[in-house]
Amino acid sequence: MAIIVNAAKCIGCGSCVLLCPEEALDVSPSFVVEVDSENCTECLTCLDCCSNDALGEST
Ligand code: SF4
Ligand code: SF4
């Protein structure tokens, strides 16, 4: 399992970046969130915070 970002939906607002307890999210220069899979503990906290439904899980 991993967190995936739907780049077409992400507007780079940064809400998920602020919520992540592991600092595993960052906004790229092109305003799309990127996931640092080495730091992500898959706590799923970020999944519900995105008002654009841009975050999801892969299997
Ligand atoms: S909360 Fe959603 S729209 Fe905002 S930066 Fe995160 S993934 Fe992108
Ligand atoms: S699942 Fe948890 S640790 Fe991983 S990016 Fe989301 S909030 Fe951060």
Provide the β-strand partners of residue 56.
Answer: 4
Classified by CATH at the fold level, domain 2-58 comes out as Alpha-Beta Plaits (3.30.70)
The pocket around ligand 2, CB under 6 angstroms, is made up of 3, 20, 22, 24-25, 35, 40-46
Going from the Cα of 50 to the center of ligand 1, the distance in angstroms, rounded, reads 5
Judged by DSSP in three states, 4 sits in: strand
Helix (H) or strand (E) holding 58: strand 55-58
Nearest-CA residue for atom 6 of ligand 2: 46
pTM value surpassing 0.75: yes
Going from the Cα of 49 to the center of ligand 1, the distance in angstroms, rounded, reads 8
pLDDT band at 59 (very low <50, low <70, confident <90, very high): confident
Q: What is the DSSP string of 19-52?
A: H-TT--EEE-TTS-EEE-TTT-----GGGGT-TT
What's the pLDDT score for residue 51?
94
For the chain, the structural domain boundaries read 2-58
